[in-house]
Amino acid sequence: MTVRRLIAPLWCSLLLFPLVACGPDDTGGSAPAAGVGVDADADADTDAGGDLPNVSRPACPFTADKVSDLVGQPMQDQGNCLFGDGNGVASLTITTASPLAGESTYDYQREQATQTYREVKDVDKGRKAYLAVKDIAGEAVVIGDKGSYTVTLSSFEAIGASAGGYEPTLRKVLDALPL
């Protein structure tokens, strides 16, 4: 009896699903306009607003060799601006965005950093920047005229054990960014 009660609603939903999923064709054959639930051209991450320039999201600013120099140990390019030590332990990741995108998430990122890291401090770089550190990781966020960058360092044994921990290395990375 229980199975019969479940079969009827199942059949009805299967019959109605294609009608609901397709929806009316009111676009006249043209592509849907960008809006809620529709991505505009994902590669054209350009913004305009305020006193921030209309700049696209920058490419990854470093090579594996440059990252190796900055962190003081050999690193491998693992794609999408992710660099690892080859052992699955230490990593440096850089997330890039347009200046406006960086500005719109900066306050939230900084607030989250105060909950995650032992120490968070403002840094005099670009338009706005901070760095955050704890024993096993560090993060820096900087917004410049050419783009915004979020840098995350994690699980570097030598850096974590050194005097000053992650802060000096994060400052070197920030100094090397094309702001």
Residues 81-128 have pLDDT tens digits of 999 999 999 999 999 999 999 999 999 999 999 999 999 999 999 999
Mean of pLDDT over the chain? 81
What confidence tier does 53 reach under pLDDT thresholds 50, 70, 90?
A: low
Residue 140, domain extent: 76-176
What confidence tier does 170 reach under pLDDT thresholds 50, 70, 90?
A: very high
Which residues are CB-neighbours of 175 under 8 A, at least 6 positions away? 125
Domains of the chain: total: 1
> Which residues in 86-110 are b (16+ Cβ under 10 Å) and which e?
eeeebbbbbbbbbbbbbbbebeeeb
User: 148 lies in a domain?
Assistant: yes
User: 86 lies in a domain?
Assistant: yes
User: 109 lies in a domain?
Assistant: yes
What confidence tier does 27 reach under pLDDT thresholds 50, 70, 90?
A: very low
pLDDT at residue 41 greater than cutoff 70: no
Q: What is the pTM of this model?
A: 0.71
Rounded Cα–Cα distance for residues 76 and 95 (Å): 17
Task: Name the DSSP letter for residue 172.
Answer: H
Positions of E strands within 48-147: 76-77, 82-84, 91-97, 119-122, 128-134, 137-143
User: 19 lies in a domain?
Assistant: no
Q: At how many degrees (to 10) do helices 64-71 and 167-176 cross?
A: 140
User: 1 lies in a domain?
Assistant: no
pLDDT at 50: 58
Which residues are CB-neighbours of 30 under 8 A, at least 6 positions away? none
User: 104 lies in a domain?
Assistant: yes
Share of the chain above pLDDT 90, in %: 65
- Burial class of residue 30 in the structure, from the number of CB atoms within 10 Å of its CB (0-12 exposed, 13-18 middle, 19+ buried): exposed
What confidence tier does 154 reach under pLDDT thresholds 50, 70, 90?
A: very high
User: 22 lies in a domain?
Assistant: no
